[in-house]
Amino acid sequence: MCKEEMGVRSVADIYGENVFSIKNMRNYLSEKAYGSLIATIKEGKTIDPSIADEVADAMKTWAVAKGATHFTHWFQPLTGATAEKHDSFIEPDQEGGVIMKFSGNELIKGEPDASSFPSGGLRATFEARGYTAWDPTSPAFIKKGEIGATLCIPTAFYSYTGVALDKKTPLLRSVAALSKQVCRLAGLFGIDTKDKRAYATLGPEQEYFLVDRSFYEARLDLIQTGRTLFGSAPAKHQQMDDHYFGAIRTRVMSFMDDLDRELWRLGIPAKTRHNEVCPAQFEIAPVFEEQNLSIDHNMICMETLKKVAEKHGFVCLLHEKPYAGVNGSGKHNNWSVVGPDGKNWLSPGDNPHENAKFLTMICALMKAIDTNAPMLRASVATAGNDHRLGANEAPPAILSIFLGDQLTDIIDQIEKGGAKSSKQADLLELGVDSLPQLPKDVTDRNRTSPFAFTGNKFEFRAPGSNQSCAGPNIVLNTIVADALDEICTELESDVKSGKDFNEALQVVLQGIVKKHKRILFNGDNYTEDWHKEAEKRGLPNLRNTEAALEATKDPKVIEMFKKHKVLTPEELASRHDIYEEQYEETITIEASVALKMARTMIVPIALEYQSSLAGTIDDMKTCGCKSDGTMDLLKEVGGETEKMLKGIKELEAALGGKASEKIDAMNELRVAVDRLEELLPDEIWPLPSYAEMLFMM
Ligand code: ADP
Ligand code: MG
């Protein structure tokens, strides 16, 4: 893209130009095919095979006009990244040339060699067949390279027996489960649900770091593990709070301008951009969208962040904790539900009927989170995120809900068996007709809560910056569906036995609040007091990935995923195995890289410096100079070098052991290396420093 081009072309002109959008569909398809495809997308159904060829041909014509030569089924295997295998459109004609072809079959179904993707034992190695299937609810898009372009078709990935091998398949299933239960509840509220569905919305706030490419390339740890394994904190980092929302540097600004435009071209509604808490840390947030699309868009956003950074001489670090001692990066998952009435059910309404829906959803969330805190915690468990959760900069690993004072007051009233209006003090029966008016802005700001109500949505703040949003949202959708399922079952049986709906609802919600109010906490989640209080309340505190992943083995959890047809027991077990293995592998790689760097980069220069100091001391003695200070320095350098050498031995021994042993040994080694960084001459230190990486850009 050249500057002139951007100058003359407005955002409206470029927005979505690399997406096979609804507008493109209308332009390139016959009326019949267009109508059928739109219906497919709206209802989230599978495409009518009789229009597949026409749709494929239209997509190809559009894509080829944009310079595309290849297409790919773009999918999200359990590695957590995205995968693509390109096929060109070319087909030899019989005259020594080629024609460009793309058939309906190629659009709808692909068959990548699945044997190299993790399946957690789901797919026997002799049967490597996996299929990708087009998800028409997420539009095809074009990825441009320097020279050519590729048409990307978002797909789900599953085995020949129909087992989900990816993150999209269970996500779509969880959306269906949520829709079913929300519609059931809607029915009880007398809302028309015929041919309607409910869905979740998502707006993920993405944090990231930028580092100058030359520094990155000089750090084996960043290249191989995405984070620094050594590095002593600079005197000034984030203490002055002068970076957050600060003026954006020129070079970073160019990067952001470029990034936004790239995203807009792809139909990704990038909205906010700002400096984050730590120097060199930033955030980008889109306008929220339907969850499935938003998740695809976040995957593309992460990829685009890296690609555009490269163009500007940066590397984008998506790791949750690239630098020790300063803030890490998360991905705030803003989640809400749109009901079959087309309204946001987490938005407090302005009439009693709307409020009843709203409060039922709030109670369903209390029930869902309290009952399934360990599973929700498991959905954000990765080696990288372990550095964040539990440190005093991100929400703790203890899950709790922040509702703010006003909403908590209403919940208290529900617990007491009725709700009084917030203005008048007289008690009212809680029911559709007698709920109090809710104040318009029912939220306060609390930055420390892992699960906060922020006006018209819940913000789940524990997901890691490097994670796909799919996992946490699969769990969120499913646990809320499960809570609603129980609520509806109770209400339906009450109504059937002749009870008044309003009275029944009041009793059900009162029961939920009584049972689950321990999950509510409006205070500072970072304090030691809260940890103690949470323990008293019996809230789980699963500090690391290994502990958190155990939740997937709970029979109740297995049954829940099965009941709502989101994951079979085998599929769930495979996720446990894959994530556990990924965790182990990550730690082992980090340990090996730390060893290699210490041995081949730090030990040699430490020894060299020692011998130079020893030589200096000899020289000083020869000429009768005092050398006490130099001697002290040599002693300290020598002492730390010995500690480092001991640390290397211990880490090597730990390599074959448990992950926790490797982590302890790495931490130990790091202390010695970081101290040496403070003692050795800057000139010979072989790694770019934190000060350089965080401040020079
Ligand atoms: P903050 O940093 O104060 O939390 P931001 O504006 O940076 O707020 O991010 C809020 C995110 O929440 C945005 O991506 C926004 O689109 C999203 N959001 C707003 N309303 C909803 C909703 N109903 N459902 C899901 N996400 C929403
Ligand atoms: Mg936020």
Domains of the chain in start order, with CATH, are 11-166 (3.10.20.70), 180-192+349-566 (no CATH), 206-330 (3.30.590.10), 584-695 (1.20.120.1560)
| Tens-digit pLDDT profile for residues 122-157 | 765 446 678 999 999 999 999 998 899 999 999 999
Q: Is 288 in the pocket of ligand 1 (CB under 6 A)?
A: yes
The three-state secondary structure class of 51 is helix
**547 Cβ contact list (under 8 Å, min separation 6):** none
Strand intervals (E) in 462-506:
none
When pLDDT is averaged across residues 3-32 and rounded to a whole number, the result is 85
Q: Is 286 in the pocket of ligand 1 (CB under 6 A)?
A: yes
Distance of CA 10 from the midpoint of ligand 2 (Å): 29
| Tens-digit pLDDT profile for residues 538-574 | 999 999 999 999 999 999 999 999 999 999 999 999 9
Q: What is the pLDDT of residue 277?
A: 84
* Distance from C-alpha of 470 to C-alpha of 23, rounded to nearest angstrom: 28
* Distance from C-alpha of 229 to C-alpha of 594, rounded to nearest angstrom: 6
Ligand 1: residue of 205, 245, 291, 294 to mutate (most ligand atoms within 8 A of CB) is 205
Copy the structure tokens of residue 269: 């509604």
User: Using alpha carbons only, what angle is made at residue 480 by residues 478 and 486, rounded to the nearest 5 degrees?
Assistant: 105
Distance of CA 331 from the midpoint of ligand 2 (Å): 8
* Distance from C-alpha of 294 to C-alpha of 307, rounded to nearest angstrom: 19
Q: What is the CB neighbour count within 10 angstroms for residue 230?
A: 23
**413 Cβ contact list (under 8 Å, min separation 6):** 419, 420, 430, 436
Ligand 1 atom showing the smallest separation from residue 347 Cα: 23
Ligand 1 atom showing the smallest separation from residue 334 Cα: 26
Q: Whose alpha carbon is nearest atom 11 of ligand 1?
A: 203
Distance of CA 198 from the midpoint of ligand 2 (Å): 24
Mean pLDDT of the chain: 92
Distance of CA 177 from the midpoint of ligand 2 (Å): 27
| Tens-digit pLDDT profile for residues 298-343 | 999 999 999 999 999 999 999 999 999 999 999 999 999 999 999 9
Ligand 1 atom showing the smallest separation from residue 204 Cα: 14
Closest CA to 62 of 128, 1, 107: 107
| Tens-digit pLDDT profile for residues 235-282 | 877 777 777 888 888 999 999 999 999 999 999 999 999 998 889 999
Q: What is the pLDDT of residue 443?
A: 59
Taking the model in full, what pTM does it have? 0.94
| Tens-digit pLDDT profile for residues 415-472 | 988 655 443 333 334 444 445 555 555 556 778 899 999 989 999 999 999 999 999 9
Q: Is 267 in the pocket of ligand 1 (CB under 6 A)?
A: no
Distance of CA 524 from the midpoint of ligand 2 (Å): 16
Distance of CA 273 from the midpoint of ligand 1 (Å): 13
Q: What is the pLDDT of residue 639?
A: 98
Closest CA to 152 of 79, 202, 102, 78: 102
* Distance from C-alpha of 410 to C-alpha of 419, rounded to nearest angstrom: 7
When pLDDT is averaged across residues 598-611 and rounded to a whole number, the result is 98
Spatial contact of 371 and 483, defined as CB atoms under 8 Å apart: yes
Distance of CA 205 from the midpoint of ligand 2 (Å): 6
* Distance from C-alpha of 675 to C-alpha of 232, rounded to nearest angstrom: 7
Ligand 1 atom showing the smallest separation from residue 336 Cα: 24
The three-state secondary structure class of 334 is strand
Ligand having the closest approach to the CA of 461: 2
CA distances from 486 to 141, 178, 671 (A): 40, 13, 52
Ligand 1 atom showing the smallest separation from residue 338 Cα: 23
Ligand 1 atom showing the smallest separation from residue 288 Cα: 16
Dump the DSSP string for 623-664.
TT---HHHHHHHHHHHHHHHHHHHHHHHHHHHTTS-HHHHHH
